[in-house]
Structure 1
Amino acid sequence: MDKSMIKTVLIKECYNIFTNRRNFHLNGEVFDAVSVAEDDTWRRIRSVLSPSFTSGRLKEVEPSLHLSLSISTNVKDMTTYFLFTGYVGIMKQHSSTLLSGMKKQADKDQTIEVKEFFGPYSMDVVTSTAFSVDIDSLNNPSDPFVSNVKKMLKFDLFNPLFLLVALFPFTGPIMEKMKFSFFPTAVTDFFYASLAKIKSGRETGNSTNRVDFLQLMIDSQKGSDTKTGEEQTKGLTDHEILSQAMIFIFAGYETSSSTMSFLAYNLATNPHVMTKLQEEIDTVFPNKVTPTP
């Protein structure tokens, strides 16, 4: 709870001390994602991504909404990023679809598996806000985006490959050279092909003009030398852009859907807390008024 210590770890000493996480080296095509990159590569990628969440960028993302916002330059959380840039409308749209789907299930007196609703909802919000792509997975539960990310999340602690690398770390680089990976090749191939198609559409001008997370990464290439095999100091390579986009989908889907599932469970099992929450919501937003940033 020491704010000064938190600031020291996350900001002051972040770049020169707290750089590398434990790396099992079996990341496959996601080897250059910000979550697994190391040392100078990590610093370069993070230096490109961080400015995307400053107040200037926040106001730039959705200028058509004419929101008058006073946002601290310390706002870097992705949830806050989308909330304060007019993406409330997008979330409201998908939230309405979510509630409609759950209501239909409830009207049939069937048990609701909330993760099966919150998962597609998270996917729809992430793809809509980050890449301006509406896949509507809530109404298409077999959507390949959702089915593939589920395959990616199937992780077994007793997986022989994981146990081998965890118990004998020196085998990690060897397994990496042999093209072993924790992530199924078919899954990573699907996401990289899909994201490459979206990125290609941006570059040819056949897509939305909205400035989103993907566009900010593409803009980082302008005026920068991003040729592979050479020292890079600024923009991201094409592959790095796709890797950050993929990790964004992966992280946004699982964390959001799991958090909402746990929240729903705890509210359902503690009705007095749910009643208190409803009362607070009605006080802050009387007469079902639309929430504002």
Structure 2
Amino acid sequence: MAIWEFFFSPLTLGLGGICFALFLVSDSWKKTYFRRHGIPGPRPLPILGNMLDCSEGMAENLCNMRDEYGKVFGLNFIGSNTLVIGDLDMLQEVFISRFSAFPNHRQLPVKETPMDSAINNLRDSQWKDVRNVLTPAFSGKKMKQMNSIINECCDQLLEHVEEQRLKGTVIQFKSLYGSYSMDVIASTFFGLKVDSQKNPDDPFVKHARKCFETSLFSFRLLAIFLLPFLGPLFDALDIGLFVKEVKVFFHSVIHKMVAARKAGTEKRLDMLQLMVNAHNLDATADKKDDEDEVDKLVDVKLKNETSGKQKRELTTDSITANSMMFFLAGYETTNAAMCFSSYLLATHPDKQETLIDEIDSHCPTPESVQYDVLRKMEYLDCFVRESLRIFPPVATADRYCDSDATVNGYEIEKGSILMVPIYAVHHDPDVWEDPKEFKPERFNKENRGSIHPAAWLPFGIGPRNCLGMRLALMELKFGLIRMLQKYRFETCDETEIPPVLGKSTGFLCPPNGIKLKVKLRESKVLD
């Protein structure tokens, strides 16, 4: 019997039909979970669940669902029943006070070597050990050592902006800021000077950009999440979230770099070297450099929990995975933050003038832009925080329930997936007065104390907050300061008001970019 005759025989088709029917029954029963437990939410479709409800953009759709179903509702998203929590007191319990019940992220249905060794994919004690090793590498003291590296990248950014300005063309800042973000990561993490704007065909740049070509709704990702029982097959075929070519390239390059650093044949001041030496670093002397009060408490808590333990050296695979993870986490988010901040400056010229005055007062020259100066610039901090509130680069975050827990009257079973709708929380009128209005003064010293700890979430909160927060804020603030030392941002006919937000990935980076003009500051021209 020919193989096609076997697959299309009445017996095979009949058995296949029975199996598919049983799968549909089981799948449909699973998708009634929230309805059976009295939790509101949109009705899921067979197999796809609520994917189509989110296909037009996670950010706005979750806001609409919050208005319709309340601050806590259920979705069947990418193959799992997901409890969406926008209630601030519940979020504070999940992230901080009840952290022991929700210490991990959702586990991927595929192994995804070597990314399974990255800190965001590690769980429980493994995560805690690696966090303890990496934390000192991201201290304020270490950030100061990055001053000259980031300023050099700012020099390249300004050079490319000036070229565009002299041409008299509208500037697409998504492209320029993407190159700036790429250059900062290449320099601070790998000690590479690539100038990705001038050298788009550089192997590092080409492979790095491929990391962001996949949509959440691509067939490959849908198959991975909707058919998790095929995980072993995907692992055997090395099919994962990232293109194999990209993983092979970075794995090869970083392995060679780490080998050179460990052999002592090459030493540089970058995050890769800090990760190689991380087991010998001590965070105690750097605690005074912490900027965020919650983050400070977290660092102390983790240090107390791991005190007396010998910090283990990171393996080459772990360094490779975490280098790739920090790149993935930092590239698109910083690009988005820079784009949206520039848009807000152009559309709020009065705020722009206030920020320019502060910059002229504290750091009027490129040489004066230093990490220590950032603390003195209160309005810059308010501006950045409000920009990240209105346009958080990432729309959602997740948590996994490791043990049965009761949070604010909700019984959350072990194995439950929680989604945190960051954008929806940031635009909740019950949390923020006039949430769509851009008001940096929300975050001044007089008002900051009244903000709920879980109301501002661009970097998360609690023990699993973003480890690279200080570096990301430094990169963002340096870029804005250097731009405003020389230019003012202005809107033009091509500027989208409001900007279109990203839909096909979890990032909000505008798919059409941010098109603006810049005007050379006549009162103070800086070379």
Under TM normalisation by the shorter chain, which class is it?
A: 0.7 to 0.9
2:340 to 237, 262, 268: 262
Pair 221,290 (structure 1): closer, same or farther in 2 beyond 3 Å: closer
The answer on whether the counterparts of 1:28 and 1:182 sit within 8 Å (CA) in structure 2 is no
Question: Does the 8 Å contact 1:90/1:125 carry over to 2?
Answer: yes
Measured in 2, the distance between the counterparts of 1:122 and 1:30 equals 21
- In the alignment, the residues of structure 2 paired with residue 134 and residue 170 of structure 1 have an alpha-carbon distance, to the nearest angstrom, of 43
Relative to structure 2, which stretch is displaced further, 240-249 or 272-281? 272-281
- CA 1:217 to 1:14, structure 2 compared with 1: closer, same or farther past 3 Å? farther
- 2:132 paired residue among 14, 36, 47: 47
SS of corresponding position for 1:141: coil
For residues 140 and 42 of structure 1, what CA distance do their matches in structure 2 show?
37
- Output the amino acid matched with 2:108: N
Q: 1:38 to 1:128 in 2, by over 3 A?
A: same
Change (3 A) 1:288 1:219: closer
Aligned residue number for residue 249 of structure 1: 327
Which residue of the partner structure matches residue 476 of structure 2? none
Q: Is the 8 A contact 1:20 1:39 kept in 2?
A: no
Query: Structure 1, residues 138-166: CA drift from partner, whole Å, max 9, x if none?
Result: 43232222221211111223212322333
Structural mapping, 1:167-178, within 5 Å: 167-178=226-237
How far the C-alpha of 1:35 sits from its partner, in A, is 1.5
User: Whole-Å Cα distance in 2 between the matches of residues 233 and 33 of structure 1?
Assistant: 17
Question: In 2, Cα distance between the equivalents of 1:174 and 1:147?
Answer: 29
- Deviation of residue 233 (structure 1)? 7.8
- RMSD over aligned CA atoms reads 3.1
| Contact 1:33/1:244 (8 A) holds in 2 | yes
**Structure 1 counterpart of 2:368, one-letter code:** T
- Secondary structure of 2:184's aligned partner: helix
Give ranges in structure 2 of 5+ residues lacking alignment: 1-86, 281-309, 373-527
**SS of residue in 2 equivalent to 1:282:** helix
- Per-residue Cα deviation, 1:177-214 (whole angstroms, up to 9, x for no partner): 4321121111111111111121122123222353x422
Q: Which has the larger radius of gyration?
A: 2
Q: Is the CA contact (8 Å cut-off) linking 2:132 and 2:311 kept in structure 1?
A: no
Query: Which of 272, 275, 296 is the aligned partner of 1:214?
Result: 272
Amino acid at match of 1:100: E
Change (3 A) 1:243 1:99: same
Cα distance change, pair 41–173 in 1 and its aligned pair in 2 (3 A): farther
Q: Tell me the TM-score normalized by structure 2.
A: 0.44
- Residues 15 and 125 of structure 1: is their aligned pair in 2 closer, same or farther, counting only changes over 3 Å? farther
Other-structure match for 1:30: 115
1:28–1:180 Cα contact (<8 Å) kept: no
Q: Which has the higher strand share?
A: 2
Instruction: Summarize the Cα distance change of 1:21–1:289 in structure 2 as closer, same or farther, 3 Å threshold.
Output: same
**One-letter identity of the residue aligned with 2:338:** M
User: CA–CA distance in 1 between the matches of 2:101 and 2:132?
Assistant: 13
CA gap 1:22/1:204 in 2 versus in 1, 3 angstroms: closer
Q: Distance in 1 between matches of 2:145 and 2:118?
A: 27
Q: What is the deviation of 1:92?
A: 1.5
Matched, 1:271 2:356: no
Distance 1:99 1:288, change over 3 A: closer
Q: Secondary structure at the match of 1:31?
A: helix
Contact conserved, 2:153 with 2:183, CA < 8 A, in 1? yes
> In structure 1, what is the Cα distance between the partners aligned to 2:145 and 2:239?
42
Aligned residue number for residue 128 of structure 1: 187
What secondary structure is seen at the aligned counterpart in 1 of 2:314?
Answer: coil
SS in 2 for 1:274: helix
Is the counterpart of residue 159 in structure 1 residue 242 in structure 2?
Answer: no
Q: Which amino acid aligns with 2:205?
A: V
SS at match of 2:199: coil
Please say which of residues 165-174 and 93-102 is displaced more in the overlay.
Answer: 165-174
**Cα distance in structure 2, aligned partners of 1:233 and 1:285:** 39
1:105 corresponds to 2:164: yes
Provide, for residues 107-144 of structure 1, a one-character-per-residue CA deviation record: whole Å limited to 9, x for no partner: 11233221221112112212222233322324323222
Aligned residues: 256
Does the CA-based 8 Å contact 2:118-2:322 persist in structure 1?
Answer: yes
Aligned-residue offset at 1:289:
7.0
**What letter matches 1:112 in structure 2?**
I
Rounded Cα–Cα distance in structure 1 between residues aligned with 2:334 and 2:88? 27
Question: Relative to structure 2, which stretch is displaced further, 186-195 or 107-116?
Answer: 107-116
Give the aligned residue type for 1:244. Answer: N
State the percentage of identical aligned residues. 31
Structure (1/2) with the larger helix percentage: 1
Q: Which amino acid aligns with 1:200?
A: A
Measure the CA separation in 2 of the matches of 1:26 and 1:161. Answer: 15
Distance 1:37 1:288, change over 3 A: closer
Q: In structure 1, what is the equivalent of residue 201 of structure 2?
A: 142
- The aligned runs of 1:228-239 (5 Å cut-off) are 234-239=312-317
CA deviations over 1:238-275 (Å, ceiling 9, x no partner): 21111111112222222111211122223223333323
Q: Is the 8 A contact 2:208 2:246 kept in 1?
A: yes
Residues 72-117 of structure 1: per-residue CA shift (max 9 Å, x gap)? xxxxxxxxxx2xx232222122111111111112211233221221
* 2:228 alignment partner, SS class: coil
Query: Distance in 2 between the 1:219 and 1:233 partners?
Result: 11
Q: Which residue of 2 aligns with 1:229?
A: none
Question: What are structure 1's unaligned runs of at least 5 residues?
Answer: 62-81, 223-231
Matched with 2:256 is: 197
Q: Is the 8 A contact 2:254 2:320 kept in 1?
A: yes
